[in-house]
């Protein structure tokens, strides 16, 4: 396993400065001082001694807990430097953050440098179309169709105002396709499940769709099925952008397909899982944000699993920061085999995506050995499809696994507006799977 990652000369200093600021000045971290072995130790050792910051911690210390004493929140709000934003998610995942637009934009610009298409096309003034659930970002309207001009904001066009894709009629999707041709975005930023749905419709209706210079996949972890459906319509290059509302842009997929750390704007600490669960290449990440004077986050648990690239280098030539071969999905979406081995969303998808005729799916693990697969497919021979997917799932989860396949017309998103392809209906604690 590669461990000698390369970092820019500033990375160590930025990490040290953020740690010292947090421990000396930020109220939420005053109880963390007891974990610090001291300034005589290397900065990496000091970080490793610290606990993980959770969304529960942010809720408990909001809004003053992550702001240095010389920064006045009310004055920042009055001047328009900051605002409060709520993240989407389940009740346990929702959190209110201090939003610093200037910092966010700078983090995004830094991430563009990690992909040759983005670095060439993204000027900061380029027209960009956004196809995501407005619960995540955009302008929502479920009762009235909003004209194009009401969904324009500066250089952005929000292509859909609907908070549920079940409200996407053929007329609505025709409008999206038509507006793409009118607006001619240089970049299309898209939620992969929504873009895949649009592409299925475009294929069925035999419509050509405007080809942007780059498609940036965001807000959800894309699946092989998503990419397969998108590539039936788009020849544009794609890049998956990984980040969170709290931490900004953390990783960007390069033109060679690997994910590069946005090390100018964040520190990433990798914690491997136990070998029997995919470690040491598979693990969770804790993110420390840089340059955000209004919201100091140290070792924030973003809740995702990633896979380190074992070569530690990339054909694109970028070698500064951690390199990932893949993002594996949220830990809360992991499931277990009958013997208790952890299965990430990506591993599940790699197995199921060998079947061509699946449009959408969601696997729910009911108990330690029973699984319900909700499946959307236009294949008429449902018994044959049922047998095929059940065989794949038994191979993955165990021959004793009880598999129930439920054929659906559509699969609803979570309350966050995002889709998940798997989850266990019982608690799984990350601490039980981390390498000690």
Q: Report DSSP state, residue 6.
A: B
CB-based contacts of 60: which residues, under 8 Å, 6+ apart? Answer: none
Residue 353 is predicted with a pLDDT of: 94
Going by C-alpha positions, the residue among 276, 270, 221 that lies closest to residue 432 is: 276
Q: Dihedral (C-alpha) 109, 197, 417, 285: value to the nearest 10 degrees?
A: -50
Residue 4 is predicted with a pLDDT of: 67
Query: How many domains does the chain contain in total?
Result: 3
Which residue, 212, 236, 260, sits at the end of a domain? 236
Helices and strands (H, E) in the chain, number of each type: 11, 20
φ/ψ of 383, rounded to 5, equals -60, -40
| 3 in a structural domain | no
Whether residues 141 and 206 fall in one domain = yes
Residue 3 is predicted with a pLDDT of: 60
SS3 2: coil
Spans of the chain below 70 pLDDT: 1-4, 88-92
Which residue, 236, 265, 280, sits at the end of a domain? 236
Given the DSSP bridges, would you call strands 422-424 and 360-367 parallel, antiparallel or unpaired?
parallel
Alpha helices in 275-403 (DSSP H): 345-352, 382-397
| 1 in a structural domain | no
Token output for 373: 């697969």
Residue with tokens 């530690």: 312
Residue 301 is predicted with a pLDDT of: 97
| 192 in a structural domain | yes
Q: What confidence tens digit (pLDDT) does each residue in 274-303 have?
A: 999 999 999 999 999 999 999 999 999 999
| 4 in a structural domain | no
Residue 91 is predicted with a pLDDT of: 45
Whether residues 50 and 29 fall in one domain = yes
Residue with tokens 């993980």: 52
Q: State which residues form the domain around 349.
A: 335-432
CATH code for the domain in which residue 140 is found: 3.40.50
Whether residues 119 and 227 fall in one domain = yes
Q: CB atoms < 10 A from the CB of 317, how many?
A: 9
Whether residues 56 and 73 fall in one domain = yes
Residue 94 is predicted with a pLDDT of: 79
| Beta carbons of 126 and 109 less than 8 angstroms apart | no
Count of alpha carbons within 13 Å of 133, Cβ hemisphere only? Answer: 24
φ/ψ of 236, rounded to 5, equals -65, 145
SS3 434: strand
Q: What is the rounded distance in angstroms from the CA atom of residue 35 to the CA atom of residue 49?
A: 6
Q: What confidence tens digit (pLDDT) does each residue in 317-353 have?
A: 998 899 999 999 999 999 999 999 999 999 999 999 9
Whether residues 310 and 339 fall in one domain = no
Which residue, 207, 236, 265, sits at the end of a domain? 236
Residue 194 is predicted with a pLDDT of: 95
| 190 in a structural domain | yes
Whether residues 135 and 213 fall in one domain = yes
Residue 66 is predicted with a pLDDT of: 96
CATH code for the domain in which residue 353 is found: 3.30.300.30
């Amino acid at each position: 396993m590669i461990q000698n990652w390369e970092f820019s000369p500033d990375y160590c200093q930025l990490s040290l400065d953020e740690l010292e600021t947090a421990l000396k000045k930020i109220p939420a971290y005053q109880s963390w001082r007891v974990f610090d072995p001291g300034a005589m130790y290397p900065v990496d050792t000091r970080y490793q001694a610290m606990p993980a910051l959770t969304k529960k911690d942010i809720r408990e210390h909001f809004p003053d807990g992550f702001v240095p004493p010389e920064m006045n929140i009310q004055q920042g709000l009055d001047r328009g430097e900051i605002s409060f934003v709520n993240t989407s998610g389940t009740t346990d995942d929702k959190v209110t953050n201090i939003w610093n637009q200037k910092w966010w934009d700078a983090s995004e610009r830094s991430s563009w440098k990690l992909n040759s298409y983005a670095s060439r096309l993204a000027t900061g003034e380029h027209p960009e179309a956004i196809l995501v659930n407005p619960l995540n970002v955009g302008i929502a309207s479920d009762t009235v169709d909003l004209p194009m001009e009401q969904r324009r904001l500066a250089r952005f066009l929000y292509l859909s105002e609907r908070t549920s894709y079940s409200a996407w009629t053929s007329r609505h999707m025709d409008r999206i396709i038509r507006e793409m041709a009118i607006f001619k975005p240089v970049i299309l930023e898209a939620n992969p499940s929504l873009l895949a749905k649009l592409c299925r419709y475009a294929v069925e209706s035999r419509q050509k769709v405007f080809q942007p210079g780059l498609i940036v996949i965001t807000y959800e972890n894309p699946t092989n099925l998503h990419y397969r459906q998108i590539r039936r319509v788009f020849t544009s290059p794609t890049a998956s952008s990984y980040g969170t509302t709290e931490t900004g842009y953390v990783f960007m997929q390069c033109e060679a397909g690997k994910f590069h750390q946005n090390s100018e704007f964040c520190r990433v600490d990798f914690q491997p899982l136990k070998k029997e669960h995919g470690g040491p290449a598979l693990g969770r990440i804790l993110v420390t944000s840089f340059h955000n004077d209004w919201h100091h986050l140290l070792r924030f648990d973003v809740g995702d699993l990633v896979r380190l690239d074992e070569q530690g280098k990339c054909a694109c030539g970028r070698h500064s920061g951690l390199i990932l071969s893949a993002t594996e999905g949220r830990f809360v979406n992991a499931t277990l085999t009958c013997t208790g081995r952890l299965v990430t969303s990506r591993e599940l998808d790699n197995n199921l995506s060998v079947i061509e005729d699946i449009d959408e799916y969601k696997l729910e693990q009911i108990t330690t050995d029973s699984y319900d697969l909700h499946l959307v497919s236009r294949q008429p021979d449902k018994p044959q499809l049922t047998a095929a997917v059940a065989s794949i799932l038994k191979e993955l989860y165990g021959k004793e696994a009880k598999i129930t396949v439920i054929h659906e017309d559509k699969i609803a998103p979570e309350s966050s507006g995002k889709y998940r392809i798997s989850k266990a209906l019982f608690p799984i604690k990350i601490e039980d799977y981390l390498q000690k």
